[in-house]
Structure 1
């Protein structure tokens, strides 16, 4: 098949994907801004924020992964032009996301004592505890926001979430500046100021998306007849059956990177801080292809609802090609600027931490080279996973991601990181191995299913 068959879909893909990408970058920028501002306080503070955020990121991955079940169901109903079905899915999905957000916050809050037993430096642990108490509360508005966002994505309305995230980041940066450093009449709270900034800005984001969608004419019908008494077991079961495996898929990947944070903490504070710098940069680029993955999920869901399976495969492959082009670009940026990027996160004028800062920068620059290599694998696995979710195929991919990350990737990270001189670099080689295995397995799965659908309907 000619390349032009795929490239002609680029404009439609980008039109749908760019607001999703900007919105996802908004989520990531909240963490990056925290890391940059907290990193200026010192490497111990940066390591503490990294450790606390690792707990929150795990919970967040479960919540966001679960909420993605709403998008393909709504996209399929949109393809069928079934408004009542869309409304029911939206209402049930929002209630489930609210319950899950509260549950995840509770679990994180009460599991906090486990930090003591994770082999992390004592000074890092003591700083991380109060930070975790506050920042974990932001899970409630964040997962509720996802309920609205995933519904809007399924309707191909991706700009509202983008503006919500932009507002969130403006509020977050402002609050970080005044609360961390105590400007004007605000108290000087240090790294705790970043945590409070995150919580408040995410509530602002939630309120914004609710009001924006409710007052859009095409969405007003979906806010009607909302009642907790309309509970339908079949709809709940459908969302849960898609949402739980999707949550586990995302959990397995995020937990792998979180495991890298913990392993780096065992190696030492400077390795943990360096890991957080490289992880922040890799997460930033991941949001681009993750946005393409959501676009693929929506478009594949639409084509599935319309029973156009040839078009479905063309669209999925065109998004994959687009993602690969973007990831190759970022890989080149990482290689060229690997020695300079870590300096954004450290205070070069802080003489008290001069030696530690130099070591952090040195380690981080090596990790960024590995991050450049796994850009390709990361792009393939997330886009193909999005296409599989659009097909509502989630259980087999869940097992594939578990094998890739936890039977292949993490054991390699443990061995090379803790039992060889590679240390932090060895940990990241394990991440590369896991992502590459996932990319191969998931692509083979999508290719098999799309061929099967086309053959059955030919």
Structure 2
């Protein structure tokens, strides 16, 4: 095929992907605003929010992983024009996600003792526990929102979840300002105020998204009369969702381990690590958006039974991802000395962060491609082998190398990030090989 056979799909790909990218980046910007607002209260308060969010983020990744199972199933059924099946997947998906949210909330309460084993100051733990308890309740509405979002994503209606997320995030920032500092007659709750802002915003996301979706005649029909719950569909959701949750857990826990290893090296290394991670997270959201696009469009073509078109569309998404990632790599490398100054004025931290951005520049390509290959495999409803790949790449290769180079050989932060680079690169290569293998099987059928 000619290059234009792939590039002509760029517009369609971006139309699906950009609302997902924008919504994810909005979450990161609000987290940044939260840190700035709480940071003005003092080091202990900021450390408490960071400590509480460590466990919350792991629980969140597991919950989102489960909900990702909804999208490829909806995309496939929608491509076949099976309205009743799409509706049943949606309603059963909401049930599974709601139960999942309740279980994650309980799990966060039960995990409180872990905070005492992380070698943190007592004053930080005292502040972190009530923060985590309040935010734990937000897992329930967040998982309900996530299930509705994944349903609408499966129908390629990605803009509504972005709009709901932006509205909720604006409310979050306003409530943070009022409740953290006690402005305009509101009680001054400090760290707990940030938690209540998050809880209210996540509750609000659900009705806002439902309102936006039901305004469309073609979508309103999915919200009428609750479908009878299907054991077979619930089993399929769990079959796809559990390994997807494992995939996210393996990757998130690897980067959490990198934070812990950086803390062993000292405060300045940990600060530099956080800067590099935050910048990388911003660019990673582009990969997330394209990954969901791959899941949707590959799932559509799988449902239509058109493997030739599936290959062409998948390659167009891979090519678009590569273009973005090469650009990000050049940006990180070219501005490695300038970007850290946006976060901090400490010249030693800036120097360390600049060295990490050199490695981060290289793993832009492998990180972006591996998540998009993973999205394509999810569209093919292949999840167990990719989960094994994630475990091997991140925990049998990436983490040991990070520990050995960073701690044993004293390459410090750069050594830790070299392990991340290797893990992501191995994951990217193995995911692509898995995709190629499955495509050949489909072509033989």
Alignment length (residue pairs): 445
Structure 1 window deviating more from structure 2 (119-128 vs 159-168): it is 119-128
Could you tell me which of 270, 284, 290 is aligned with 1:286?
A: 284
Return the structure number with greater relative CO, CA threshold 8 A, min gap 6: 1
The aligned counterpart of 2:309 is: 311
Conservation of the 8 A alpha-carbon contact between 1:51 and 1:262: no
Conservation of the 8 A alpha-carbon contact between 1:121 and 1:265: no
Could you tell me which of 339, 342, 350 is aligned with 1:341?
A: 339
Conservation of the 8 A alpha-carbon contact between 1:46 and 1:273: no
The aligned counterpart of 2:359 is: 370
The structure-2 alpha-carbon separation of the partners of 1:264 and 1:188, relative to structure 1 and needing over 3 Å to count, comes to: farther
Could you tell me which of 232, 257, 260 is aligned with 1:259?
A: 257
The aligned counterpart of 1:180 is: 180
Conservation of the 8 A alpha-carbon contact between 1:301 and 1:390: yes
The structure-2 alpha-carbon separation of the partners of 1:340 and 1:180, relative to structure 1 and needing over 3 Å to count, comes to: farther
TM-score, normalization by structure 1? 0.91
Whole-Å Cα distance in 1 between the matches of residues 73 and 51 of structure 2? 35
The aligned counterpart of 1:159 is: 159
Could you tell me which of 387, 390, 411 is aligned with 2:379?
A: 390
The structure-2 alpha-carbon separation of the partners of 1:436 and 1:304, relative to structure 1 and needing over 3 Å to count, comes to: same
The aligned counterpart of 1:454 is: 443
The structure-2 alpha-carbon separation of the partners of 1:147 and 1:376, relative to structure 1 and needing over 3 Å to count, comes to: same
Deviations along 1:350-405, whole A, 9 cap, x unmatched? xxxxxxx5544443333333222211111110001000000001111110111001
Deviations along 1:423-451, whole A, 9 cap, x unmatched? 33322222111111100100110011112
SS state at 1:184 partner? helix
Conservation of the 8 A alpha-carbon contact between 1:6 and 1:318: yes
TM-score, normalization by structure 2? 0.94
The aligned counterpart of 2:409 is: 420
Identify unmatched segments of 5+ residues in structure 2.
Answer: none
Deviations along 1:258-289, whole A, 9 cap, x unmatched? 11222223333333333333222211111111
Whole-Å Cα distance in 1 between the matches of residues 43 and 275 of structure 2? 11
Residue 379 (structure 2) pairs with residue 381 (structure 1): no
Whole-Å Cα distance in 2 between the matches of residues 175 and 317 of structure 1? 44
The structure-2 alpha-carbon separation of the partners of 1:60 and 1:260, relative to structure 1 and needing over 3 Å to count, comes to: same
Shift of residue 42 of structure 1?
A: 5.1
The aligned counterpart of 1:197 is: 197
Shift of residue 44 of structure 1?
A: 5.0
Shift of residue 162 of structure 1?
A: 0.9
The structure-2 alpha-carbon separation of the partners of 1:48 and 1:342, relative to structure 1 and needing over 3 Å to count, comes to: farther
Conservation of the 8 A alpha-carbon contact between 2:88 and 2:229: no
Shift of residue 207 of structure 1?
A: 1.8
Conservation of the 8 A alpha-carbon contact between 2:79 and 2:303: yes
Whole-Å Cα distance in 1 between the matches of residues 55 and 31 of structure 2? 13
Shift of residue 190 of structure 1?
A: 3.4
The aligned counterpart of 2:31 is: 31
The aligned counterpart of 2:14 is: 14
Q: CA RMSD in A?
A: 2.0
